[in-house]
Amino acid sequence: MAPGEKKHSEWMGLALDEARRALATEDVPIGAVVLGPDGAVLGSGRNQREELGDPTAHAEVVAIREAAGKLRALSKLEGGAGDGWRLADCTLVVTLEPCAMCAGAVVLARIPRVVFGAWDEKAGAAGSVFDVLRERRLNHWVEVYGGVREDECGALLREFFAAHRGKL
C-alpha cells in the first residue's frame, strides 16, 4: 500500500464513523470529512435528510458547510480577508461516490481532491454515471480516488437497505 493510499484508508475510517452515526436517525449511512492541508478535520457530516427534512443535507454538503464556516472563522480571528468558501488544498473523503449535487458543491468549493469508498452505479457523478468532478468544460477539476475501503463502505449501505426492505 502506497503512503497516499494508507492515508486515504485512515481518513475513510473517519468517514465511516460519521456514516454509522446516521443510522441513529434512520438516514442512509453515508459519512464525509473535509481535511485541511495538514490532515486535520475541518468539517464532518453524515446524511441528515430524514433527521432535518432537508433534501440537501447530504453528508458531503454538511461537511463542506462546516469546513467553510471553520475556515471563515479562522480567517477572521487571524485578521485575514479569507472568504471561507474556497476550500483549496483540502480533501473531501466520503463513503459513497458523490451524486451530481454533491459533485457540483465540490467543484464550486474548489476542493482539489475527493476520496470515496463505494461506487454508485445509479447516481454517481465521479465516474460511474456522470463525471462532474473531471468535466473539462467546468472551471475547476478534481483529483478522484475511488474504491477506498469499498467493500466496507458498500456493506454498510447494503445492510441498511436490506434491513429497510425487511430482508434481514
Active site residue 60: yes
Neighbouring residues of 23: CB distance < 8 A, sequence distance ≥ 6:
29, 160
Query: In the sheet that 31-35 helps form, which strands lie side by side, from edge to edge?
Result: 41-46, 31-35, 91-96, 113-118, 143-145
Q: Which of the residues 5, 26, 60, 121 is marked catalytic?
A: 60
C-alpha dihedral sign at 155, 49, 26, 70: positive
Residue written as grid cell 503512503 = 3
Burial (0-12, 13-18, 19+ Cβ within 10 Å), 105: buried
Active site residues: 60
